[in-house]
């Protein structure tokens, strides 16, 4: 759909201009058809450009809108990351692995994240801990922790 907007916007930007560029100057008008083309261009030049710019902005915003599922995954993962860090002995040493996690979205709009974190234990040794986190977002888009298991 966004390709459609892009093509239409470019068309609107160029409509009336492509084959008529030679008559943009009034002194180049040689016949009645050229006069009509010239007047059409002069009357609609701004209108077509405004429409083209608006459609171009719409298509750019559609292209730049991230996938909602991907957005939900990242938001849920970072929220779980916050809750996991609160339970670690050394949260500053925590290394989460965004490239390696599983994500489930439930019908009640809660999310479950299963992943692991590398962090220091009480003796300073780096250990890997698996975690399963289930969260839900309230009306203010704040994460509510429903369950957290760290193994």
How much of the chain exceeds pLDDT 70, in percent?
A: 61
pLDDT at 10: 53
- The secondary structure of residue 51, as a DSSP letter, is H
Between 139 and 42, residue with greater pLDDT? 139
136: pLDDT confidence band, cut at 50, 70 and 90? very high
Per-residue pLDDT tens digits for 62-97: 655 555 556 778 888 889 999 999 999 998 999 988
For the ranges 23-32, 104-113, 125-134, the maximum mean pLDDT occurs at: 125-134
Q: Read off the pLDDT of each residue in 87-115 and give the average, rounded to a whole number.
A: 89
For residue 136, give the nearest of 105, 90, 94 by alpha carbon.
Answer: 105
For helices 2-14 and 32-64, the axis angle rounded to 10 degrees is 150
Instruction: For residue 136, give every residue at least 6 positions away whose Cβ sits within 8 Å of its Cβ, in sequence order, or none.
Output: 108, 109, 110, 111, 143, 144, 146
Rounded Cα–Cα distance for residues 13 and 56 (Å)? 9
How much of the chain exceeds pLDDT 90, in percent?
A: 31
Per-residue pLDDT tens digits for 50-64: 766 676 666 666 655
pLDDT at 71: 76
């Amino acid at each position: 759909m966004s390709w459609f907007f892009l093509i239409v916007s470019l068309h609107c930007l160029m409509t009336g201009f492509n084959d008529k560029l030679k008559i943009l100057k009034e002194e180049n008008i040689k016949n009645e058809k050229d006069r009509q083309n010239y007047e059409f261009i002069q009357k609609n030049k701004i209108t077509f450009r405004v429409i083209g710019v608006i459609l171009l902005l719409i298509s750019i915003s559609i292209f730049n809108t991230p996938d909602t599922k991907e957005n939900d995954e990242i938001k849920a993962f970072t929220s779980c990351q916050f809750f996991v860090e609160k339970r670690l002995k050394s949260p500053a040493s925590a290394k989460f692995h965004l490239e390696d996690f599983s994500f489930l979205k439930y019908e009640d709009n809660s999310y479950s994240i299963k992943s692991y974190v590398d962090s220091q234990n009480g003796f300073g040794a780096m250990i890997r801990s698996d975690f399963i986190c289930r969260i839900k977002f309230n009306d203010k888009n704040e994460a509510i922790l429903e369950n957290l298991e760290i193994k």
